[in-house]
Amino acid sequence: MKKIIIFILALTFITTSNAQKLARPKLVVGIVVDQMRWDYLYRYYDRYDANGGFKRLLNQGFSCENTLIPYTPTITACGHSSIFTGTVPAIHGIAGNAWWDRDVKRTVYCTEDKTVNTVGSNTDLGQMSPKNLLVTTICDELKLATNFKSKVIGIALKDRGGILPAGHAANAAYWYDSKVGKWITSTYYMKELPAWVNDFNNQNWVDKYYKTGWSLLYPASTYIQSTADEKSYEGTPFGDKFPYDLSKYIGKDYYKVATTPMGNTLTADFAKKAIENEKLGQGNVTDFLTVSFSSTDYIGHSFGPNSMEAEDCYLRLDKDLGSFLKFLDSKVGKGQYTVFLSADHGGMQVPEFMKENRLPGERVFISTLTKELNKELKEKYNSDSLIVSDDNYQFTFNPDKVNETGISKTEIQAWLIKRLEKETGISRVFAIDQLNQVPLPALVRDMLNNGFYPQRGGDVQIILKPGYIEGYSKTGTTHGLWNPYDAHIPLLWYGWGIKHGKSNQQVKMTDIAPTVAALLHIQVPSGSIGKPIEQVIK
């Protein structure tokens, strides 16, 4: 009798223990749509497919309608890092896509790593890793929480879009080698590509896309949210107007696909293969996949937000997202995975489009201005190239050159500030070490402070007037400033553990990782300053 009682008690304990097992989704998918403005959710809402991705996420998930980026510069590397670390460049150290590094005294690319080699091609585009990221990501924290049993993979056409979200402990990050048209990685992650990646590369998808070309998904007359085709202020990477014949690039120019919607399709299809072959979401622990759709950014830069190209891109991305969610339903199980979708930054309308409609907008050609400034500085101080960087809306002096002049940096800063105040497109200019003494709205001051990492920051800060952009060319547009068109981004949640609803309460990009951490019951990343968005979680 005693043995029977002990057996029953033991069985009860085991049953209770199993019943109380910590509940988590099988898979978390973090999606970043590069350069997606928040208003695209509604600008094209009536045209999105009823079975597409955006309406499913909006109507069945939770939308944080007022999600803002809390720092500047609002650019790709910073955005991807901040979403997945829950913190800002002042802490995670990714101060731009590139920056003048005071330690090594040269410009450094955000994911460069000369200690590793390319895996998957014979180019140098794989010499990349997350080593410049100074904190953990939410993916790293998941690995730590499961004693590294979870599998983490990052995917994007851009190296920085694949590497930075996945973090330091990722099993793999893959990005696109535009010189050869293949997905690659680096020896930071592995010695050779998995067979499934080689099989995917061997399909020569890009040449197939080029053979098909890029035509509008629907009749041109239905693109009423866009300007007419062939605007002089739009870029012409393929020719003047739709349909675009891409066959001339077959076997020659594998970079061009990034500026077409097919770059997003290529990314989505590769992500499906990763889920299938790496069996993500098929084990006993939660896995994490990060996917960044880069082509929206390339198209945005070239054609602008009000172009037919941008509208067509989002209508096609909607279908790709719908297909991807259906794939997750079949492979992982509906209700068994959690998805969030956001953006790394937004984008400004093309200045000439703004002027065409009697709205403020203009270009400031900062790189040309820097050349003029260096010429004037040489005449005044007899030293070449005193300004070594104009990255991230900051001018950085070469400290060695400053010492050679025998003049204090403070005096040279003062001259530069006075000179830049004459530029019509600049709203504010000041020495960065005087940031907290300059009269500025608290929001703007906080964003500048949050974006400044001393060893990777400049000496003089400029702020452009609203509607003004940094001019890289005379067509297209860009992003990078504090303004809502750059800093107001979408944030959609869907799936396991997520409520259905919508909120206009202001939240920040840095709240995304803490919300995922709360959902999974794991520690927040090591530099996190965000907080969980409680209304999202069931």
- Give the active site residues: 76
Please state the three-class secondary structure of 22-78 as a single string. Answer: CCCCCEEEEEEECCCCCCHHHHCHHHCCCCCHHHHHHHHCEEEEEEECCCCCCCHHH
Quick one: tokens of 324? 């991807």
Measure the CA angle with vertex 433, ends 447 and 401; round to 5°: 120
Quick one: tokens of 59? 């109507």
Strand partners of residue 177: 182
User: Does 237 sit behind a cis peptide bond, omega within 30 degrees of 0 on the bond before it?
Assistant: no
Q: Using an 8 Å Cβ cutoff, are 235 and 303 in contact?
A: yes
DSSP 530: -
Any idea which residue has 């054609």 for tokens?
A: 303
Any idea which residue has 């919300």 for tokens?
A: 515
Nearest-10 Cα torsion for 133, 472, 317, 230: 180
Any idea which residue has 């998805």 for tokens?
A: 339
Quick one: tokens of 102? 């005071």
Give CA separation, 374 vs 32, 98, 370, 378, 393, in Å.
38, 20, 6, 6, 16
Closest by CA position to 342, among listed 141, 112, 61, 94: 61
Amino acid at residue number 277: N
> Any residues with CB less than 8 A from the CB of 505 and at least 6 apart, and which?
64, 66, 535
Q: Which helix (H) or strand (E) holds 461?
A: strand 460-464
User: Does 351 sit behind a cis peptide bond, omega within 30 degrees of 0 on the bond before it?
Assistant: no
Q: Using an 8 Å Cβ cutoff, are 213 and 243 in contact?
A: yes
- Give the helix ranges, DSSP H, for 151-261: 159-166, 195-201, 205-212
The values of phi and psi at residue 302, to 5°, are: -75, -45
Q: Which helix (H) or strand (E) holds 356?
A: helix 351-356
Give CA separation, 239 vs 234, 248, 317, in Å.
11, 11, 22
Any idea which residue has 């202001």 for tokens?
A: 506
